[in-house]
Amino acid sequence: MTEGIIMKKVFKKSTLIAVFLGLFLLQSQQSLSSVKAVAVTGYDEKPLTEQQNQEMANNTDRGFRLELNLNVKTGMGLWGNADKTGIAQMKNATATFADDNPRLAQVYFYLTDYKNKPLDKTAFNNMNQYFKKLKQNHLQAVLRFAYIWDDAHPKSQEPTTEQVVAHIKQLAPWIAQHRNQIANLQAGFIGAWGEWDSGARSRMNEKAILQALLANTPKDLFIQVRYYNIKSRNIDPQSSDGQRVGFHDDYLIGRPHEWNTAGADPNSAEWKAMAEQSQTVPVDGEMIWGSANASDNNGQLISAPLIAHRLAVDHFTSLSIAHNYKEDGKDYSLSSWKRQLVTPTLLEQYKLPYQKSWFKDTNDNEISRSWYEYIRDYLGYRLAVKDISYQADEKSIDYQVNLTNYGLAAPVLINKAELVLLNASKKAVATKEITDVAHLQSLQVLPIEWQVDKALVKKAKYLAFKFTGYSNTGNRLANNIAFAKGYNYLLTLK
């Protein structure tokens, strides 16, 4: 082979399996300076170990979420939790769903007792204590403020528009202070549960409230709205404010319904616009309560493949695990999905992404998977390196790392990603910031190129990848490689 022609290392299956056990080691620990070019393919084909799957489950800013509430005046919960503190409710919820390992929690802060006056120290103290406990539980908040919890008598708990705007301005410093614990902020404030029902919208100046939220919250904080027309009527979708506004659909039943965020017609302009815009903003959702299946879903459990398809079409980042699962000691739709097998053929039939190695164990045996596992593992993002290549000249080494996303949505809440050269002490020698990861769509490939001076490479022992959200917690790639302290170890250099 003549010099300058890229030579590829061809890995037979048995060799590839051996290479991916633990850290990826260069063949014979060959010095990069002596190699003209190398390509490592099939990097994402080795199945994950049990421990690696657990590390994947700890990834932030995606996946199943809890649903929690707090009366900020009393520090107590509401409805069935009115007899316990909000923090006690959180403790019960984390225990109930411990096996599901949610990293997000939808948090309702009810301002009911302040509907006609400013928030006081008691309110802020209760919110501070609550967020302290969220942090201890490694939970990011999908945060919503609301006033009306008694939907039978909504006007008795409804504030004026002026009071809402005053509260938003009063909350602004608190929200900014806790930015790193907030995955996204739901518009809230208007209507029962902060869900912007049509009656409440007609009584409030919704544009003034939405604009106050956008003006008084950090510019890097997404705000989710319940209905598409809240965004389209009040904001230019192409403006910087419009690009901050995502969605939450609180009525998922597997088939289109007029209470869906974009209405009941998949062929409508609103439905298509939401599908397009959801590629770059976070989308949250919840199914109806299991007890409502009888009245709202013809007495049937909700279809897992139909829900999965909807989650994919509108690029959902998160989904409530409190709804239609195991309410009041009864099993509902989510429980049934654990018993319903999913196959590559089914996923392809519903045009759903998946990683081929997900259907195998570490001995390369095929394994059964359920719809519950699929939604758990593919909701939001699922990033993996597909292949790596590098080539050297006299002065530098050029790396190319091809990153892909097997998830249902782009990692829109990831705000930092970087390639890093680490020395033997795991200290950074050089860093390459990557700016395009947050918009990496499902099944797309992002080529990351990095030219590094050989003098720096000689100081390094590892090439690693790190990506984090605002909590600054490092996340795991879906590759069978070492992962420690937020770093995914791609190559051992010497």
pLDDT value of residue 328: 86
As a whole number, the mean pLDDT across the chain is: 93
For residue 243, give the DSSP letter: G
pLDDT at 326 over 50: yes
pLDDT at 27 over 70: no
At 34, the pLDDT band (50, 70, 90 cuts) reads low
Distance CA 443, CA 354 (A): 9
Return the number of other C-beta atoms located less than 10 Å from residue 125's C-beta: 12
| Residues paired with 287 in a beta bridge | 252
For residue 47, give the DSSP letter: P
Question: Is 478 strand, coil or helix?
Answer: coil
* Cβ-contact 196, 165 below 8 angstroms: no
Specify the higher pLDDT residue, 34 or 436: 436
Q: Among positive and negative, which fits the CA dihedral 97, 100, 103, 105? A: negative
Q: What are phi and psi of 461, to 5 degrees?
A: -115, -25
Distance CA 44, CA 358 (A): 10
Using a cut of 0.75, tell me whether the model's pTM lies above it: yes
For 472-484, the pLDDT digits (tens) are 999 999 999 999 9
* Lookup: tokens for 173: 């410093």
State which H helix or E strand residue 70 sits in: strand 63-71
At 9, the pLDDT band (50, 70, 90 cuts) reads very low
pLDDT at 29 over 60: no
* Cβ-contact 82, 88 below 8 angstroms: no
For 263-294, the pLDDT digits (tens) are 999 999 999 999 999 999 999 999 999 999 99
pLDDT at 37 over 50: yes
Distance CA 99, CA 326 (A): 13
For residue 32, give the DSSP letter: G
Distance CA 419, CA 50 (A): 26
pLDDT value of residue 30: 43
State percent of the chain over pLDDT 70: 93
Lowest mean pLDDT among 30-34, 173-177, 279-283, 483-487: 30-34
* Cβ-contact 23, 461 below 8 angstroms: no
Composition of the chain by helix, strand, coil, percent to 5 = 35, 25, 40
pLDDT value of residue 386: 97
Mean pLDDT score, 22-36: 44
pLDDT value of residue 31: 52
At 435, the pLDDT band (50, 70, 90 cuts) reads very high
Distance CA 345, CA 359 (A): 12
